[in-house]
């Protein structure tokens, strides 16, 4: 059985990919994990566009403007996550509570997707820097509404895991009793 906390420790943003292709079945399992993520009012305001093969290089180019994300050239696959219209109940609840639930839902789905990848022996990097206009032109209608994230996916070029640099628990945790 998977130890969830070990899985969390293993997951990191990969910037060194082996160029071998990722099996379609594994990409489907990752998206299935994302599909099962919690969602406000079960709205599921997401769409996942999986890109492999020759088109993966074109997606990589869309993430490299201004010299950013050069490592994506070696990523053999990408999952483009788009925000879709939320269900009416989630939209109304969001307006009443002055809260946008769709970005939270997408974050939860992204976490599920990336943790599933780690469990399957794959590596990911969550990219927020990309040309949405170019991606939409490349992917057409499959891109959905607003593109929110691009996830690079592949096998890591190395097995070593960098130590995580995070704030100390004392800086982020407080108890009220």
Given this model, what pLDDT does residue 141 score? 76
94-123 pLDDT, tens digit per residue, is: 566 667 788 999 999 999 999 999 999 999
Given this model, what pLDDT does residue 159 score? 86
Which H helix or E strand runs over 47?
strand 46-52
Say whether pLDDT at 91 is over 80: no
Given this model, what pLDDT does residue 1 score? 65
> For residue 115, what are its two tokens?
């943790």
| 62 CB burial (10 A radius; 0-12, 13-18, 19+) | buried
Say whether pLDDT at 134 is over 90: yes
Task: For residue 167, give Cα distances in angstroms to 36, 39, 47, 128, 171.
Answer: 30, 28, 32, 22, 6
Q: What is the mean pLDDT of the chain?
A: 91
Place of tokens 């307006």: 95
Say whether pLDDT at 63 is over 90: yes
Say whether pLDDT at 80 is over 60: yes
Count the Cβ atoms, other than its own, within 10 Å of residue 140: 8
Delineate the domains of the chain, giving CATH numbers in brackets: 14-158 (3.40.109.10)
> Is the separation of the CB atoms in 12 and 57 below 8 Å?
no
Say whether pLDDT at 89 is over 80: no
Say whether pLDDT at 92 is over 70: no
């Amino acid at each position: 059985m998977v130890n969830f906390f070990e899985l969390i420790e293993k997951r990191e943003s990969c910037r060194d990919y082996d160029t071998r292709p990722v099996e379609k079945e594994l990409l489907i399992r990752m998206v299935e994990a994302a599909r099962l993520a919690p969602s406000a009012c079960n709205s599921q305001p997401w769409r996942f566009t999986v890109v492999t093969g020759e088109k993966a290089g074109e997606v990589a180019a869309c993430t490299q403007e201004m010299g950013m994300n050069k490592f994506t050239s070696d990523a053999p696959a990408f999952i483009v996550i788009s925000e879709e219209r939320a269900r009416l109940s989630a939209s109304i609840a969001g307006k009443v509570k002055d809260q946008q639930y769709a970005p939270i839902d997408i974050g939860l789905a992204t976490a599920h997707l990336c943790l599933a990848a780690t469990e399957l022996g794959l590596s990911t990097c969550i990219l927020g820097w990309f040309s949405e206009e170019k991606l939409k032109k490349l992917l057409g209608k499959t891109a959905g509404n607003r593109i929110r994230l691009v996830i690079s996916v592949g096998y890591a070029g190395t097995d070593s895991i960098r130590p995580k640099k995070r704030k100390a628990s004392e800086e982020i945790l407080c108890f009220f009793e």
